[in-house]
Chains A and B, each alone.
Chain A
Amino acid sequence: NAGVTQTPKFRVLKTGQSMTLLCAQDMNHEYMYWYRQDPGMGLRLIHYSVGEGTTAKGEVPDGYNVSRLKKQNFLLGLESAAPSQTSVYFCASSYSTRRGGKQYFGPGTRLTVT
């Protein structure tokens, strides 16, 4: 099992550009999450999904959109990147809480917006 994988690993964008980050998991998890990690801030939840075709907002959703068209994939989109979105982005997945709910993280995508 590859676990949780993220594409790309690094990216540099100019202000106003758009991009999509891809997360894939092969553990048949129902739930998937996107977090951002900033120095000294821990991890903050952006959006999450409890199943194919469903998404919900987390703590810091502004400026991001997500889609979950397939159970194994969760996409994070930035329509018009801003320097404040410079961060490391982590995807995670889990079973439902009834089956444990433990979240497993991918290796991260380091995004710089200039």
Chain B
Amino acid sequence: GENVEQHPSTLSVQEGDSAVIKCTYSDSASNYFPWYKQELGKGPQLIIDIRSNVGEKKDQRIAVTLNKTAKHFSLHITETQPEDSAVYFCAASISGGAGSYQLTFGKGTKLSVIP
């Protein structure tokens, strides 16, 4: 099955600096890569996603890049703010029944933004 490795497990940055979280996946058939943000005591919230036919996607201060050849993808957060502090999860999908996405998650990165 799919295996997703995520690094680093913890990351501290000064407010205003950039943060980068990296993930690698094992199954070359994976074609959908979402990123989730989880605040304490809440469910994961989808913040950005990318499909395998795209190399980069941006949404305001957040961007994701995908390198299919190397089987890795990264989350970039620019101009970090204290409210960006949370646990971030990457995921990769393989096709499930009837075309569903079966997501395999990384183990998470705890991001702390220091004011």
Interface size band for B:
20 to 34
Nearest B residue (CB) for A98: B99
A101 within 8 A of B: yes
Nearest A residue (CB) for B101: A101
Residues of A within 8 A of B99 (CB): 50, 96-98, 101
Contact B46 A104 (CB under 8 A): yes
Q: Which of A41, A42, A45, A105 contacts B43 (CB 8 A)?
A: A105
Minimum CB–CB distance for A99 against chain B, Å: 10
A-B interface contact total, Cβ < 8 Å: 72
Contact A107 B98 (CB under 8 A): no
What are 27 sample pairs from A and B whose C-beta atoms fall under 8 A apart? Answer: A41-B107, A42-B6, A42-B106, A42-B107, A43-B44, A43-B103, A45-B102, A45-B103, A45-B104, A48-B100, A48-B102, A50-B99, A54-B98, A56-B96, A58-B102, A94-B101, A96-B98, A97-B95, A102-B49, A103-B101, A104-B46, A105-B43, A105-B44, A105-B45, A106-B43, A108-B42, A108-B43
11-57 of chain B: CB within 8 A of chain A: 32, 34, 36, 42-46, 49
- Most chain B CB inside 10 Å of its own CB: which residue of A42, A97, A104: A42
Contact B102 A101 (CB under 8 A): no
Binding site for B on A (CB under 8 A): 4, 31, 40-45, 48, 50-51, 54, 56, 58-59, 90, 94, 96-98, 101-108
Contact A101 B42 (CB under 8 A): no
Residues of B within 8 A of A97 (CB): 32, 95, 99-101
Task: Type the 1/0 row for B76-113, where 1 means its CB is closer than 8 Å to any CB of A.
Answer: 00000000000001000101111111111111100000
B115 within 8 A of A: no
Cα distance A44–B103 in the bound complex, in angstroms = 8
